[in-house]
């Protein structure tokens, strides 16, 4: 099968590149950027993409690539850091800029007669791109020509047609980049001449095979949160392996949404779960979080206690010979610094990724995370295929640590109760206005301040809430929704 190989330099959106390529029916694989170039690695590879990176090419420990890749005769496309890596490797100069480019930026395509601008064939001039960089190209290597510039007059794209090497400063993989998929299609289809022989059903079949192989003869324990990810995982496991081998455990941390326990119990029974356990550990979580204000510390405490409760309860219930399954998504992994290679930075530690107890199980191969290369909307599509109702599939993302990370400052039972009710009212208003389905994620945040108001004819001194709503497709980029201000 023809393959587009993506070298991961640690970008938050590397998997998004692969996803966009697969959406256009080209097969793609992601590998660490520092792999040794061999004939075996490049077998069936029709094109190579260098991802972005949190690093700068002039950093002492900047990620590099085996330079033999440039002589392999395979077309290369560098994105953001990938472009800068190419420029530096060919003798050009990359420098920090005074004003960073982040977000939307117009791109203007150069019309030079001696430049075959095939990467941008069929693309409108002045299209809106998505930038995320603090460095710019100062000197372009002699073999390359500038093919695009940004509205801030920075070099936005270069090409060396003789070697079929291209570079772009913006991110075509994010949905807020106009013509992003068209640019990637031009590279994979027109420049690399790769065949379109990938389809999502093939992926689903492979996913089922992987789940069966990993589970083997073991029992599988799933920690259910009530969110989309764990619900889809439960449905997948109940569909892929024997139901009596699937054990579903819902731990009520006291940090859940309103009526979460009731809704989760009802939904899991509809899925045909035979082994379902509802554990109330809310008191333990409130006690452990007493006096804690740092968000990362909250996440660590919740993650570790979650695993301790799970271990205690499985022992008490006599559940043996099991592996743990989690609805971990790619966004959870990459934000926690778990990219394909070792170059990704930690944005925030997801409790189901970086907890020491989880790390230990992952190292020992006792963790099943079949959704970890998927994004939220892809998981929703899988849930639809598995027959889950829209009330489950369309739920807004909810953090694993629950309301604890939506409370700024110390977590108390009183604050959770206030926030739970506020969140419920907010969601109901959005649904009534038919905005809920248009929004990727909306939620309320309890701020660590109080203000005076009037309730009836009396003075009221209460907490202040902040309401937030964003529009996105895959959760990697987003914008706020001003329409929510009118609810």
Residue 173 bears catalytic tag: yes
Instruction: Answer whether 282's CB lies under 8 Å from 252's CB.
Output: yes
> Which residue in 173, 178, 260, 369 is the catalytic one?
173
Which of 33, 80, 177, 416 is flagged as catalytic? 80
Residue labelled with tokens 């963790």: 367
Among candidate residues 306, 307, 320, the one with its CA nearest the CA of residue 247: 320
Pairing status of strand 127-139 against strand 93-109? antiparallel
- What's the Cα-to-Cα distance from 293 to each of 136, 224, 274, 352, 369, rounded to whole Å? 39, 26, 39, 20, 30
Hey, what are 261's tokens? 């326990």
* Residues 105, 152: Cα–Cα separation, whole Å: 8
| Spatial distance between the Cα atoms of 51 and 79, rounded to a whole number of angstroms | 5
Reported as type and span, the H/E element at residue 360 is helix 356-363
d(CA 412, CA 408): 11
C-alpha distances (whole Å) from 285 to each of 142, 251, 302, 329 are 62, 11, 7, 24
Q: Which of 133, 171, 176, 351 is catalytic?
A: 171
* E strand or H helix at 447: strand 441-455
Is residue 80 annotated as part of the catalytic site, yes or no?
yes
User: Rounded to 5 degrees, what angle do the CA atoms 22, 24, 29 make?
Assistant: 25
Q: Which residues are CB-contacts of 385 (< 8 A; sequence separation ≥ 6)?
A: 204
Q: Which residues pair with 133 in a beta bridge?
A: 101
The tokens of 316 are what? Answer: 């008490």
Q: Which residues are catalytic?
A: 80, 171, 173
């Amino acid at each position: 099968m023809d393959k587009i190989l993506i070298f991961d330099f640690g970008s938050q959106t590397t998997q998004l590149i692969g996803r966009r390529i697969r959406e256009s029916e080209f097969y793609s694989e992601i590998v660490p950027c520092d792999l040794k170039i061999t004939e075996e690695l490049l077998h069936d590879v029709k094109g190579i993409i260098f991802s972005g990176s949190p690093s700068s090419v002039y950093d002492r420990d900047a990620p590099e690539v085996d330079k033999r890749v440039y002589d392999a005769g395979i077309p290369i496309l560098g994105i953001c850091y990938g472009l800068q890596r190419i420029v530096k490797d060919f003798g050009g100069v990359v420098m920090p800029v005074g004003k960073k480019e982040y977000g939307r930026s117009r791109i203007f395509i150069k019309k030079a007669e001696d430049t075959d601008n095939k990467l941008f064939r069929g693309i409108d001039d002045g299209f809106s791109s998505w930038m995320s960089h603090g460095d710019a190209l100062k000197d372009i290597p002699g073999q390359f020509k500038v093919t695009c510039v940004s509205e801030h007059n920075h070099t936005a794209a270069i090409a060396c047609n003789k070697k079929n090497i291209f570079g772009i400063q913006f991110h075509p993989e994010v949905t807020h980049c106009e013509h992003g998929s068209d640019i990637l299609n031009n590279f994979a289809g027109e420049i690399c001449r790769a065949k379109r022989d990938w389809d999502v059903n093939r992926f689903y079949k492979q996913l089922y095979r992987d789940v069966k192989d990993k589970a083997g003869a073991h029992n599988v324990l799933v920690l259910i949160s009530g969110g989309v990810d764990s619900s889809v995982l439960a449905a997948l496991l109940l569909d892929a392996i024997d139901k009596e081998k699937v054990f579903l455990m819902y731990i009520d941390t006291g940090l859940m949404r309103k009526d979460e326990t009731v809704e989760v119990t009802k939904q899991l029974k509809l899925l045909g779960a035979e082994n379902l356990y509802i554990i109330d550990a809310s008191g333990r979580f409130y006690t452990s979080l007493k006096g804690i204000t740092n968000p990362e510390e909250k996440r660590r405490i919740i993650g570790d206690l979650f695993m301790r409760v799970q271990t205690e309860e499985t022992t008490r219930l006599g559940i043996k010979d099991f592996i743990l399954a989690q609805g971990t998504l790619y966004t959870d992994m990459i934000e926690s610094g778990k990219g394909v290679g070792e170059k990704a930075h930690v944005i925030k530690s997801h409790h189901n990724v970086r907890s020491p107890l989880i790390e230990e199980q992952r190292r020992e191969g006792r963790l099943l995370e079949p959704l970890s290369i998927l994004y939220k909307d892809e998981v929703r599509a899988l849930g639809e295929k598995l027959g889950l109702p829209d009330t489950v599939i369309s739920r807004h993302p909810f953090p694993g640590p629950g309301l604890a990370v939506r409370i700024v400052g110390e977590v108390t039972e009183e604050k959770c109760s206030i926030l739970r009710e506020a969140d419920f009212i907010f969601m109901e208003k959005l649904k009534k206005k038919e905005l809920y389905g248009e929004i990727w994620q909306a939620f309320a945040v309890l701020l660590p301040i109080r203000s005076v108001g009037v309730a009836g004819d009396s003075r009221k001194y209460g907490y202040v809430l902040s309401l937030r709503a964003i529009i996105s497709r895959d959760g990697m980029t987003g914008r706020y929704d001003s329409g929510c201000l009118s609810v």
